[in-house]
Amino acid sequence: MKNPILRAANLASPKQQRNWDWRAASNFIAGGAGGGLLLLTSLATSLAAGFAPEVTRSAILLGLMLIGGGLTCVWFEIGRPWRALNVYRHFSTSWMTREAVVALVLFSFGALALLTLHPVFVVAAGILGLGFLYSQARILAANKGIPAWRHPRSIALMVATGLAEGGGFLACVVSISSAALAAPALLALIALIAIRVWFWKAYLGGLVADGAPDGALRVLSGLDARFVVLGHVLPALAVAAALAGMPGRAGLAFAAGIMVVASGWFLKYTLVRRAAFTQGLALSRLPVRGRGPAGAATKPGWKVTPGTKTG
* Terminal-residue alpha carbon distance, the chain: 29
CA–CA gap between residue 32 and residue 91 (Å, rounded):
20
- What is the predicted pLDDT for the residue at 16? 78
Q: Give the pLDDT of the chain (311 residues) as one tens digit per residue.
A: 455 545 545 556 778 788 888 888 999 999 999 999 999 999 988 876 557 888 899 999 999 999 999 999 888 777 666 666 667 677 777 888 899 999 999 999 999 999 999 999 999 999 999 999 999 999 999 988 899 999 999 999 999 999 999 999 999 998 888 666 678 888 999 999 999 999 999 999 999 998 888 999 999 999 999 999 999 999 999 999 998 888 888 899 999 999 999 999 999 999 999 999 988 665 555 556 656 565 545 566 666 555 554 44
Query: Measured between alpha carbons, how far is 142 from 93 in angstroms, rounded to an integer?
Result: 11
Domains, the chain, ordered by start:
13-280 (1.20.1630.10)
Hey, is 118 helix, strand or coil? coil
Half-sphere exposure of 27 (CA within 13 A, CB side): 23
Using CA atoms, how far apart are residues 109 and 105, in angstroms rounded to an integer?
6
Q: pTM of the predicted model, to two decimals?
A: 0.87
Q: Among 55, 54, 163, 69, which Cα is nearest to 107's?
A: 69
pLDDT at site 241:
94
pLDDT at residue 182, rounded to an integer: 73
**Residue 206, number of CB atoms within 10 A of its CB:** 15
